[in-house]
Amino acid sequence: MNARNRPAPRKPQTFALPDHLPGETEYRVFITHLTTCADCGYGRARCEKATGLWRAYRRTLRTPLASNRPADLQVADQPLPESEHEPDAPESAITPDGDRDLSVERWLLSAAENSDRARVDWRESGLALMRCGTIIAAIRMSHDLIHAAAGTHDAYKIDAFLREVLPGGGVFVDTARNLYFVLVQHSVGRRNEWVDNPYEQAKFLGDGSFLGVPSVRLKTRGAGRAYWCAPVEKAGEFVSQEAMSQLLAISRWRLASGSCGSAALSLVSLPQRRRAGASQVEP
């Protein structure tokens, strides 16, 4: 190729980072397409401001810095010195739970009308608004039904009971309103038992409903107004309707018979879990 036909060298594009913490979409746009900081002249891997914003953004997700840096940062002109990596990462951030929480968080955010806004709401108040419908649906239950099934009014024993009988889950409680919410597939709403809505103190929330969902990091009582008493173990996994039907049947029987103060019934025969789109209940 002669000099006349040789393409002109690519001119590095410069970027100017904002002072505020950007959302995920905004950050990835300029971190992917722009290469040289307009202020310091360094590439994005050495620019202190770019690195600082990235660290701050990762802290909001409570995930480890090294394993979640974008590929374009890892292959940039010069890697960060070892001393500039995130110091003293929280112990919870370097466990498998951190990766699982991030996966579940992304899945839940797909049900939000604005994922960036939902992240901010989770960070500031612990609750974010999600639209019920295609991605998630829920069954709202009164505390009387749950207390009847568990055979106790002790909140910690109720949490342990729900984790045992509805593992894999998706159950959270709004302590301000004393309401429990169980995530289920949207198709559950087409079952006859919910079309006619025969249950008192229980309601299916589907199309047209909005649900205040707590951050996936809130898993203990007292952590916020709402918390996950039976956390979602895997993105796209729901409580099966068969398990819910049996739980509701037991609750109604105990309320009708006046045996709410008795010990919790054995529910080991309840179907364990159902994946999104699955037609069979997993053993």
pLDDT of residue 72: 36
Secondary structure letter of residue 282 according to DSSP: B
Q: What are phi and psi for residue 282, nearest 5 degrees? A: -70, 145
Least-confidence region, from 103-107, 252-256, 269-273:
269-273
Q: Which pLDDT band, with edges at 50, 70 and 90, does 241 fall under?
A: confident
Three-state DSSP at 234 gives: coil
Least-confidence region, from 120-129, 193-202, 212-221:
193-202
pLDDT of residue 120: 92
Secondary structure percentages of the chain, helix, strand, coil, to 5: 40, 15, 45
Query: DSSP strand E in the chain: where?
Result: 14-15, 36-37, 127-131, 137-142, 171-174, 179-184, 202-205, 210-214, 226-230, 237-238, 274-275
- Position with higher pLDDT, 84 vs 266: 266
Three-state DSSP at 144 gives: helix
Q: Which pLDDT band, with edges at 50, 70 and 90, does 33 fall under?
A: low
- Position with higher pLDDT, 240 vs 153: 153
Contact between residue 148 and residue 254 where contact means Cβ atoms under 8 Å apart: yes
What's the CA gap between 57 and 50, in Å, rounded? 11
pLDDT of residue 167: 75
Q: Which residue carries 């960070």 as its tokens?
A: 123
pLDDT of residue 46: 65
List, for residues 111-165, the tens digit of each pLDDT value.
998 999 999 999 999 999 999 988 899 999 999 899 999 888 898 999 999 988 8
Q: What is the mean pLDDT of the chain?
A: 71
Least-confidence region, from 39-53, 95-109, 164-178, 255-269:
255-269
Q: What is the mean pLDDT of residues 2-11?
A: 55
Contact between residue 276 and residue 147 where contact means Cβ atoms under 8 Å apart: no
pLDDT of residue 63: 41
